[in-house]
Amino acid sequence: MIAAMDGADGFKVRLARAAGLVRNLRALRRRVGAAGVAELVASRALPRALSYTRMLLVETAVDRGGLHPELGPRRLRAPDAGVVELHAALAASGEPEVPAFTERDLADRFAAGYELWLFHVDGRVAHALWWGAPHVRFGRLTVPVEHGDRVTEAAVTVPGLRRKGLHRQALEHVHAVAHEEGVSRILSAVNGFQRGLLATAGSDADVTVHAHLQLLTITGRTWVRITPETDAGQRLFERAGLPAERWMRSPADRNFDGAARSRRAGRYLDRRMAAAKRHEHLELLRRWLPDLRSATVLKTDLWEEGVAGDELLFELARRSRHAYGIDVAQPVVESAKGADRRNGNTSLLRSDLRSLPLDDASVDAVVSTSTIDHLPPPERAAALGELRRVLRPGGVLVITGDNSGNVGDGLLRLTARLGLLPFPLDDSVSLAGLQRLAGDAGFECLDSAYIVHGPRVLTTASVRLVRLLGGGDGAVDRLLAGYARLGRRAPRRMGAFVAVRAVAP
């Protein structure tokens, strides 16, 4: 009998929550329309498998506003009892649109530099919003903002106290504090339907939309599309190296660190493909860098040494006085250190290509293998400028990049956008484009070549098919030799990489 009563009470609770959800959705529909409700549902539908969210980057004007001491505002830089109270109230509401205030979420946000404002009614937490931090977050995407800007996000009012103007009063208070602290502007990332709520709250006149962002998540992988609406929005995403007006895999999902840790490259590059690629690069370097015995060499990108099995740096170190290797991902650097058995004249460092930890004119030769194509095109000139800075006068640069003229380049770009490669990849470069980049950086181009023939994605797929059908190393070698013969007839269309040798005058 007791169990039956408990079951009946549980059913009543679930029924009450369902009724509350329906009331909330009806109220939301009155404020933002059916499209806003549909957008809310789409952003919450099957979150582990499929979700779609439209977000806006909005600016609200910073003015003197008005302080609201009656709300007992508190500005937290670490959790306290009020946060626990807020989390309990939100968890008990059963409503669909409340931000998470879990322990992990709190730790991540406080560690990132956010502060949490809490506002009270009758001595209890009634409203909260995150404030501060030098970046704005769109889902899993983090974009740095300009100096002097601040960010608000994840504002929430405790159920039962909504539609009483608490959000507006809280923003007025935060704006007043921001004005006193000399903040230039306040930015927020809001869902599309929340823009409708801003409008119906009467504050839309103070809101400027700088960009739209669409996020599509399928089975844990996220694609984004950015549409700037103002020059300020355009600058914000350009500085972050994010292209506009096209779908791309979220940079939060595309990184070298995760690829190095998972060792996906073992499935990406067959051992015979790695051997053939290494052999062709070494032959090129023997022709273009004949004598390195007294030279100091820099190699950018340690992916080959640390992950893919087609190393070049250690061979260069054996021929030179000292060799430096740099990579932007620490796991790749550590993996390369583990593969270096010489422990002698190599120095492996974590570094960005655009800011090298080397003195001016400190190296005699630079080997940059397919590194430039991991950078957005606007940032490549700065990278070439850094290589020019560290190279001594008369020093030699050997640089390669993905060949945009390859017949399989479109398929390679599509594969990269779908997140099927174990590393991030940006636009390819033509041979003329690579020569132009080098020339603009102050280099004098001497030689050029197309190397490693074959469409990369098709070559990888055909080698895997040969392996699947039981073919050994000999069968794979014959397949690669066939691609090489085709490449000799049509190098521009079959070369996977373009290569340039240049000197620093």
- Write out pLDDT tens, residues 257-289: 444 444 444 455 788 898 899 999 999 999 999
Of 5 and 161, which is predicted with more confidence? Answer: 161
Q: Give the whole-angstrom CA distance, residue 474 versus residue 480.
A: 10
pLDDT of residue 262: 42
Q: Which of 247-261, 342-356, 411-425 is least confident? A: 247-261
Q: Taking 70 as the threshold, does the pLDDT of residue 193 lie above it?
A: no
* Residues β-bridged to residue 157: 127
Sorting pLDDT into bands at 50, 70 and 90, what band is 204?
Answer: very low
Q: Give the whole-angstrom CA distance, residue 504 versus residue 365.
A: 10
What is the pLDDT averaged over residues 148-162?
A: 79
What is the pLDDT averaged over residues 300-323?
A: 87
Q: Taking 50 as the threshold, does the pLDDT of residue 436 lie above it?
A: yes
- SS3 of 109, please? helix
Q: Taking 70 as the threshold, does the pLDDT of residue 343 lie above it?
A: no
pLDDT of residue 150: 82
Which DSSP state fits 123? T
- Sort residue 394 into left (φ over 0), alpha (ψ -120 to 50) or beta: left
What is the pLDDT averaged over residues 44-58?
A: 66
User: Which runs of consecutive H residues, i.e. helices, occur in 112-159?
Assistant: none
Closest CA to 236 of 348, 303, 143, 166: 143
- Sort residue 480 into left (φ over 0), alpha (ψ -120 to 50) or beta: alpha
Q: Taking 90 as the threshold, does the pLDDT of residue 485 lie above it?
A: yes
Of 59 and 222, which is predicted with more confidence? Answer: 59
Q: How many other C-beta atoms lie within 10 A of the C-beta of residue 267?
A: 11
Closest CA to 353 of 399, 307, 394: 399
Task: For 50, list phi and psi in degrees, rounded to 5.
Answer: -150, 130
What is the pTM assigned to this prediction? 0.55
Tokens representing residue 473 in the block: 């190393």
pLDDT of residue 478: 92
> What's the angle, vertex CA 492, arms to CA 489 and CA 498, rounded to 5?
125
Q: Taking 80 as the threshold, does the pLDDT of residue 253 lie above it?
A: no
What is the pLDDT averaged over residues 120-133?
A: 84
Q: What is the DSSP string of 422-462?
A: SS-----B-HHHHHHHHHHTT-EEEEEEEEEES-HHHHHHH
Of 197 and 164, which is predicted with more confidence? Answer: 164
pLDDT of residue 206: 65
pLDDT of residue 128: 85
Pairing mode, if any, of strands 346-350 and 322-327? parallel
Class of domain 258-503 (CATH, top level)? alpha beta
Closest CA to 460 of 281, 229, 277, 294: 277
pLDDT of residue 195: 47
pLDDT of residue 295: 92
What is the pLDDT averaged over residues 124-143?
A: 76
Residue appearing with tokens 């501060």:
132
pLDDT of residue 365: 95
Q: Taking 50 as the threshold, does the pLDDT of residue 205 lie above it?
A: no
What is the pLDDT averaged over residues 376-397?
A: 91
Sorting pLDDT into bands at 50, 70 and 90, what band is 489?
Answer: very high
Of 497 and 199, which is predicted with more confidence? Answer: 497
Sorting pLDDT into bands at 50, 70 and 90, what band is 351?
Answer: confident
Q: Taking 60 as the threshold, does the pLDDT of residue 471 lie above it?
A: yes
Which DSSP state fits 179? H
Which DSSP state fits 296? E
Tokens representing residue 314 in the block: 């250690």
Q: Are the CB atoms for 402 and 375 separated by under 8 Å?
A: no
pLDDT of residue 201: 37
Q: Give the whole-angstrom CA distance, residue 382 versus residue 40.
A: 42
Closest CA to 304 of 342, 340, 347: 340
Superfamily of domain 57-212+231-236 in the CATH hierarchy = Gcn5-related N-acetyltransferase (GNAT) (3.40.630.30)
Q: Taking 80 as the threshold, does the pLDDT of residue 98 lie above it?
A: no
Q: Taking 50 as the threshold, does the pLDDT of residue 235 lie above it?
A: yes
CA 208 to chain centre: 25
Q: Taking 50 as the threshold, does the pLDDT of residue 116 lie above it?
A: yes
Q: Taking 60 as the threshold, does the pLDDT of residue 425 lie above it?
A: yes
Sorting pLDDT into bands at 50, 70 and 90, what band is 379?
Answer: confident
Q: Give the whole-angstrom CA distance, residue 160 versus residue 218.
A: 35
pLDDT of residue 261: 44
Domain ranges of the chain: 57-212+231-236, 258-503
- SS3 of 383, please? helix
* Residues β-bridged to residue 208: 59
Q: Are the CB atoms for 298 and 348 separated by under 8 Å?
A: no
Q: Give the whole-angstrom CA distance, residue 391 versus residue 387.
A: 6
Q: Which of 146-155, 170-179, 208-217 is least confident? A: 146-155
Closest CA to 280 of 501, 453, 113: 453
Q: How many other C-beta atoms lie within 10 A of the C-beta of residue 314?
A: 18
pLDDT of residue 140: 62
pLDDT of residue 249: 66
Q: Give the whole-angstrom CA distance, residue 398 versus residue 417.
A: 28
Instruction: Provide the mean pLDDT of the chain.
Output: 79
What is the pLDDT averaged over residues 487-505?
A: 93
pLDDT of residue 219: 57
